[in-house]
Structure 1
Amino acid sequence: MNLKSLEKQSIVITGATSGIGLTTARLAAEKGAKVMLIARNEKALRDLADEIMAGGGQASYAVADVTDQSALQAASDKAIDEFDGYDTWVNNAGGSIYGRIMDVPVEDFRRLFETNLWGVVNGSKIAVEHLRSKAGGALINIGSEVSDAPLPLQGLYAASKHAVKGFTDSLRMELEADGFPISVTLIQPTATDTPFPENARNYLPYEPKLPPPLYAPELAAEAILHCATHPEREFFVGGMAKFNSALALHLPRFYEKINESVIDSRQNSGRKVPDKRADGLYETHSELRQRGKEERFVFENSLYQRAKLHPFMTGVLLAGGTLWAVSRTKKRNDSARAKLEKGMTAALK
């Protein structure tokens, strides 16, 4: 399967006015791709499109809630009209709810699933319908490390991302079985420094935070754009995403006990919940911010991701390191053997 280089692509991104979606849109435009921006906040969309075009990029936008299939179809049609089709569709829009499952109203859970799962279903069906009518392309769905490793206090968020993973894997198999040249990728970021907790609905007695360690949103954007040009089944963003996924898979009870022991500390910012706290569950409050407001230590790079993106160079470095270590060991052994032989010769004299 051959995917176009970024400068030849048109890319559709949902949830484009905040966090990972915003970072991806800016980076894609910087690398020469045409971008169709989709979100609920028209002002933020217009400002972002103007920013990209002022910088020499190409961008258009469409106001749409991903839960509204007809609005999302209209956004797709606009991308087809203005860019003569598109090559990659990124289902990024999503949100969360903090709180113990028994304390959260069911209607809020339903709304979260409408966005996180049905938004992905809507976008995927629209994208596949277009991509299979042309020479193929890439469908990229944003899951999470909690697609494999659920967290307490975000139970329905974890459930929705499990559902996104199941849906994405099933869709991939069907498209491959039917012979369509469409790459279907699940991106699984670890905790990323975005406005994610600020935009989440909160039923906790404290203001939530993302559990450490945090990674830069640029790493997620880099992974997404890599998968737009290189067919990948899945991509873990940040080494902790892979570690947590493996731990939950192979040592599930140990993983659960760890999280139970820090249930009210690991996601606790230590700050009180502000009065009239806004969130993005039903209404948009995006402010074109890639990162969260709270100052925290953030990993700007990931050795795991560097190795994933550059496997050949990683192999060369590992091979070189191994040869160096073997050479050093041989020299030490030769030196020790020479000393021993010298000592034995002196003793025999």
Structure 2
Amino acid sequence: MKIRLKKIPEQVIVITGATSGVGLTTARLAARRGAKLVLAARNEDALKQVTQELTKKGNEVAYVVADVGKEEDVRRIAQTAVERFGGFDTWVNNAGISIFGRNEDVSLEDQRRLFQTNFWGVVHGSLVAVEHLKQRGGALINLGSEVSDCGLPLQGIYSASKHAVKGFTDALRMELEEENAPVAVTLVKPAAMDTMFLQHAKNYMAVEPKLPPPIYAPEVAADAILHAAEHPTRDVFAGAAAKLVASGAHYMPKVLDGYMKRFVFGQQQSDTPARDRGEHSLYEPRSGLLERQGYPGHVFESSIYTRAALHPRTTLALALGAGFALAALWRRRQSA
């Protein structure tokens, strides 16, 4: 079955984790393009603020205070979309969090809590979304990570959760395809993003964590998400670094392991003493409505690789055009 997706201005889009980082960036970008929105997060104050912000600009927005780790909360998100807008066309499972520290140091309670959000939140959202989308068609978009394809020391349980998200998403896609369901299932795998990721994470290390470069703007992931909402796409790497890491894990796993051991431990540890270990969002929400942390180094505002991957025909046409232009210039010089 050929899946047909609506254009963004015609859609109702559900976004979880919508008050920070990639989720907030996606919500604002979708609103600018004319979508109706159902926004979900744990932080009610932040949800109210972003809803008021977008409503004042003429957008139609509903919000739901929800913990995606609880199935009943996720069902309330879907019910709100049905009651307010008659349903939804795209569901984005974006909510997630990390823990920094060696696996042996991180409590099992914290590891289970992370999985409750990162993995079971995706499972709950996916199954609730598919139940609805199978009847009317649409897109399910899950947020994996560049570490969906490799392990990352000092973020072991986060890596494990993103591996699990990939396995679940790939299996669900195949099951839906086998029954010819009109649902496009996409896994978006972002590289490191300049979001509130570090501030929300729980930290077991003696110093403040940092992200290994290169760092991308959250708009790179948001653009990929909204592209997938309009165009059936199996998966997409948001940022060339994510593709590079995945390729390394597939073709040269031992070499990548060696690189990780030599460089990535240090790249994730700053020189700043760790703040109070209780300052995190693992169990309760903290500050919201910030898209970016304010990474002090260079941030890539776009990704040529991701644009090329999402628009291969345009890229090929441009490449051919450039090739013809160079050939014509060469011939002119030869005949001069």
Deviation at 1:333, TM superposition (A): 6.5
Output the TM-score relative to the length of structure 1: 0.92
Look up the SS of the partner of 1:227 in the other structure.
Answer: helix
Larger mean CA deviation between 290-299 and 67-76 belongs to 290-299
**Deviation digits for residues 154-209 of structure 1 (CA, Å, limit 9, x no counterpart):** 01100100000000000000011111100000000000000101110101111001
**2:32 match:** 30
CA contact (8 A) 2:204 2:277 kept: no
Between the aligned partners of 1:6 and 1:96, the Cα distance in structure 2 is 30
Q: Which amino acid in 2 is paired with 1:171? A: L
Look up the SS of the partner of 1:184 in the other structure.
Answer: strand
Deviation at 1:324, TM superposition (A): 3.7
CA contact (8 A) 2:26 2:223 kept: yes
**1:302 match:** 303
**Deviation digits for residues 47-69 of structure 1 (CA, Å, limit 9, x no counterpart):** 11001101111111001100110
Deviation at 1:262, TM superposition (A): 1.6
Between the aligned partners of 2:332 and 2:55, the Cα distance in structure 1 is 60
CA contact (8 A) 2:203 2:277 kept: no
**2:247 match:** 246
Look up the SS of the partner of 1:265 in the other structure.
Answer: helix
Between the aligned partners of 1:161 and 1:233, the Cα distance in structure 2 is 16
Q: Which amino acid in 2 is paired with 1:23? A: T
CA contact (8 A) 2:34 2:59 kept: yes
Q: Structure 1: which 5+ residue stretches go unaligned? A: 336-349
User: RMSD across aligned C-alpha pairs, in angstroms?
Assistant: 1.5
Look up the SS of the partner of 2:266 in the other structure.
Answer: coil
Deviation at 1:322, TM superposition (A): 2.5
Between the aligned partners of 1:255 and 1:201, the Cα distance in structure 2 is 26
Between the aligned partners of 2:314 and 2:79, the Cα distance in structure 1 is 41
Deviation at 1:229, TM superposition (A): 0.4
**1:2 match:** 4
Larger mean CA deviation between 94-103 and 289-298 belongs to 289-298
Larger mean CA deviation between 304-313 and 35-44 belongs to 304-313
**2:160 match:** 159
Look up the SS of the partner of 2:121 in the other structure.
Answer: helix
Q: Which amino acid in 2 is paired with 1:262? A: F
CA contact (8 A) 1:17 1:286 kept: no
Match of 1:108 among 98, 110, 123: 110
Between the aligned partners of 1:313 and 1:293, the Cα distance in structure 2 is 33
Between the aligned partners of 1:150 and 1:157, the Cα distance in structure 2 is 9
Between the aligned partners of 1:37 and 1:166, the Cα distance in structure 2 is 26
Residues 1:171 and 2:172 aligned together: yes
Between the aligned partners of 2:328 and 2:251, the Cα distance in structure 1 is 37
**1:47 match:** 49
Between the aligned partners of 2:46 and 2:124, the Cα distance in structure 1 is 23
Between the aligned partners of 2:276 and 2:122, the Cα distance in structure 1 is 32
**1:148 match:** 149
Q: Which amino acid in 2 is paired with 1:49? A: T
**Deviation digits for residues 109-153 of structure 1 (CA, Å, limit 9, x no counterpart):** 11111111000000001000111122x100000000100122110
Deviation at 1:74, TM superposition (A): 1.2
CA contact (8 A) 2:212 2:264 kept: no
Output the TM-score relative to the length of structure 2: 0.96
**2:312 match:** 311
**1:183 match:** 184
1:79-98 correspondence runs (5 A): 79-98=81-100
Between the aligned partners of 1:190 and 1:65, the Cα distance in structure 2 is 25
Residues 1:66 and 2:68 aligned together: yes
1:125-274 correspondence runs (5 A): 125-134=127-136, 136-274=137-275
1:284-295 correspondence runs (5 A): 284-295=285-296
Deviation at 1:329, TM superposition (A): 5.2
Q: Which amino acid in 1 is paired with 2:291? A: Q
Between the aligned partners of 1:12 and 1:199, the Cα distance in structure 2 is 22
Between the aligned partners of 1:112 and 1:274, the Cα distance in structure 2 is 20
**1:339 match:** none
Look up the SS of the partner of 1:285 in the other structure.
Answer: coil
Residues 246/155 of structure 1: CA separation in 2 closer, same or farther (3 Å cut) = same
**Deviation digits for residues 75-131 of structure 1 (CA, Å, limit 9, x no counterpart):** 210111001100000000010000011111111111111111000000001000111
Residues 1:323 and 2:320 aligned together: no
Q: Structure 2: which 5+ residue stretches go unaligned? A: none
Identity of aligned residues (%): 51
**2:21 match:** 19
Between the aligned partners of 1:118 and 1:170, the Cα distance in structure 2 is 15
CA contact (8 A) 2:102 2:156 kept: yes
